[in-house]
A and B are shown apart, each in its own frame.
Chain A
Amino acid sequence: MIINELRMENFRQYYGQNNISFAKDPEKNFTVIQGTNGAGKTTILNAITWCLYGFELHNVTDDPIYNEVVENETSQSGKFRVKVEIDILNKNNELTTFKREKNFHKNTKGKVIPAIFEDDEFSIFDEESRNNKRVEFPALYVDTNMPEDIEEYFFFDGEKLEDYFRENTGKVIKKSVFKITQLKLLKRLIDHLDERRRHYAKKVRDISPETGALEQEIIDKEDSLKENSSLLEKAVKQRKIAETKIKKYENELKRSGSSDIQSLQIEREKLEREVSELDTKIDSAKNDKIDFILEMTPTILAYPALKNTLKEAATLKEKGFIPAKYKKKFLEDLLEDGVCICGMKLSENDKCKKTLEELWEKTSNLTDIGDEIGTEHASIESLLEKLNNFRDKQTKLGKEIRWLEKEREKKSKRLKEISIRLTGSEIEKIKDFEEMLQENKRLQLSKIREEAELGAQIKSTNVIIEKLKKKRDKEMQKNAELENLKDVVLFCETSLDVSKELKKELIEDIRVRIEKTTKEQFLKLNWKESFVDVLIDDDYDVTVVRKSGRVSDANGLSAGEKLVLALSFMAALNQISGFDLPIIIDTPMGRLDKEIKLNIAQVLPKYLEDKQITLLVTGEEYSSEFRDKLHHRVSKEYIINVVQTENGNKSEVVLHGS
């Protein structure tokens, strides 16, 4: 989407009709409008926002919206109007015209008043869908295509941009991201679903107080889950801050200038690594021991039973039952079939039959399980064999743990000594760094514990909720009225879960995309090539990584770097917004030094290459050197002339060179 033309009539400094035609060539996508301070550069931004939204949104003064010359020229009882029209072209080259006008009249006392009973008249003519007819709901059309909420990410003030990261904390930026990505819609959906859910919970309570109590318990648990999740998030954030500070103070100690302090800090870092490795080894050795003890417990405690089975098996062996010459079941089958093993029919040979019957009588039932007894015998022997080295292994595992713990203790002791030495340093700065370092380490530890506790609570609450839900569902099935409500309640619950999950995923996806685009833009725009990465964390705190590996937050950058970073961040925000709108930057170079301005002029054409960009600049900003660097991308250049007349000042936008 690009602006084709802006037409202003009697709007503030602009007397009569002033038309500005904008760059349309994608290869020469820049329009430059140059004017002195007060000439009406910001007024152009305000003319656009007034036309679209009915309000001026940039550095508004108390002066009237109409031009002073037209006011003075208008006779008593006379009328005049203020009008702004914007022609916008979509990607199919179809035109939409936005028009807002306001009529005024001068009363007999010479006072200008808005035409009575007349609101601003706002209309849109859309060539695309309505054959150049008037759009029925113009405000809705604007809200859908270019909402006011996100206006500031397309039409912005360069002077303020330089201070963007100083004035905006991560929290504020996060809010902007919610705004620009329309995530607030999802938040609204979640709030609405939650409200409906509570409404249905009340209905359930009205029908069955018992089931209602269960439903309420679920909601209470979910509230506590939400609270704990937010506490966990806070604890993680606090831990991360503590960790950053720890790193900072460690670096300060290493860079303190004293070789003594430096070597102590280096030794400490080595010791800490070793302690951490030892902790892992201790955990692993302890787990090995636990596994070993648990594995051996059944065998050792069942030892008498195992020995007994072996003894019984030996007795059976002695008796010749195992291995059995023949199984009792086999004799039984012969007798049942009435045929001897030699093929003789038993009915024809009484003696043979009697012999077989006597043999069956004498044969133990155990011959049938002789094979199994044999297998168990072997298995028991192998189990008991494992017992042979039980004591050796148990002692070895114990010794290993004790040795590791002793080593850890030695290193911990040395760590304490180092800390005492640093805290007792005569250099005040070192003492302070060490105290802050230890304080943050204590904080880090307490936050780690808090995270673990909250994590466990969240996990157990989740299980309780699941159980309560199962119980509630069962109860609801018992009552026909509740059975009808069940689907609605479940729908709300499932939709809530899905929406929350979706929100979480979207937030992360958006953060990753903003980080990626900001990095791409920043590395492309930064002329020094001294940066390698831009990182944006979950809280939208922005840091940049230099080639040297040093990490700085946005406020640690030079003014020019800060501006480029803010421009890159803006580019990322308006790319993810999904709105295809042109960019207008008011005084893009603000208070920057000449050299930085030239560097920015050099890289600016690379900024958002596929967008129509308009720069509102002062003469100082748009120096001949600056112009030379940008010239090949500029297709329209205007100058705002301020003309003094007897009726007051008026500004005129004229094409450069005309």
Chain B
Amino acid sequence: MALDDRVYISESDKAIYDRLKKYVDGPLKGRKNKELFMMAMILGYYKTGVRSDLKKPKDYDHVENLGPERRTIIKAIAVAEEGMEVLNDEAQIYSIANEYAATGIKILEGMANDPDFDFIKKLENILVEEYDSKKMGE
């Protein structure tokens, strides 16, 4: 659901974002809204491929604030889901992003809060595995 030029989260997830951003000591502390939203969205997309409906949507950031690179990634995911024509429909593009973020925020929270788990190390391993297996550097 993209109601205007913003990205949205479920109202009930706001507390999770706040906790990660303000209180949970770790690499996400002090990060900007756009960074957290993007991490949630990409984990939702990559780890589950499942989109969740938003409950009581609450605006979280301006699309403009995301910056061109994040917007390109969001659009690419929308294209992968709906085809090229989705680029004609901004609302649909960001609705897909919002729904992936709604799934991903729980995953992000789980990863960031796991005491036996070095979040960045784990993420790094995933990236290296993906990078090497998909031969991205070639």
Contact = CB atoms under 8 A, between A and B. Distances in A.
Contacts of A297: 39, 42, 123, 127
Contacts of A312: 79, 83-84
A363 interface: no
Interface string A305-322: 110110011001000000
Contact of B124 (A303, A313, A394): A394
Contacts of B136: 300, 303, 384, 387, 390
A383 B136 CA distance: 12
B39 A383 contact: no
A293 B120 contact: yes
A366 interface: yes
Contact of A309 (B76, B123, B126): B76
A379 B72 CA distance: 7
Interface stretch (A111-119, A367-375, A469-477, A608-616): A367-375
Most buried by B among A298, A305, A308, A387: A298
A369 B72 contact: no
A391 B85 CA distance: 34
Contact of B87 (A301, A373, A379): A373
A103 B137 CA distance: 108
B8 interface: no
Given A302-B77, A379-B72, A391-B137, A369 B131 contact: no
A68 B85 CA distance: 115
Interface string B23-35: 1000100010001
Nearest to B88: A369
B21 to A, nearest CB: 12
Interface of B: 22-23, 27, 31, 35, 38-39, 41-43, 45-46, 68-70, 72-73, 75-77, 79-80, 83-85, 87-88, 120, 123-124, 126-128, 130-132, 134, 136-137
A451 to B, nearest CB: 15
Contacts of A293: 120, 123-124, 127
Nearest to B80: A305
Q: Looking at chain A, what size class is its interface with the partner chain?
A: 35 or more
A376 interface: yes
A305 B77 contact: yes
A454 to B, nearest CB: 15
A498 interface: no
Given A289-B120, A296-B127, A373 B84 contact: yes
Given A301-B126, A390-B137, 5 more contacts: A296-B127, A298-B70, A300-B136, A302-B73, A379-B69
A292 B38 CA distance: 15
A380 interface: yes
Interface in A325-381: 365-366, 368-369, 372-373, 376, 379-380
A306 B127 contact: no
Given A312-B84, A369-B88, A302 B69 contact: no
Interface of A: 289-290, 293-294, 296-306, 308-309, 312-313, 316, 365-366, 368-369, 372-373, 376, 379-380, 383-384, 387-391, 394, 460, 463
Nearest to A380: B72
Contacts of B39: 294, 297-298
A624 B43 CA distance: 92
A160 to B, nearest CB: 53
A300 B131 contact: yes
B80 A383 contact: no
A309 B80 contact: yes
A383 B126 CA distance: 19
B131 A391 contact: yes
B28 to A, nearest CB: 8
A400 to B, nearest CB: 14
Contacts of B127: 293, 296-297, 300-301, 390, 394
10 contacts: A293-B127, A300-B127, A301-B46, A301-B130, A303-B134, A305-B80, A316-B84, A383-B73, A390-B137, A394-B128
Contacts of A384: 136
Nearest to B89: A369
Given A293-B120, A293-B127, A383-B72, A369 B87 contact: yes
Nearest to B79: A309
A302 B76 contact: yes
A388 B137 contact: yes
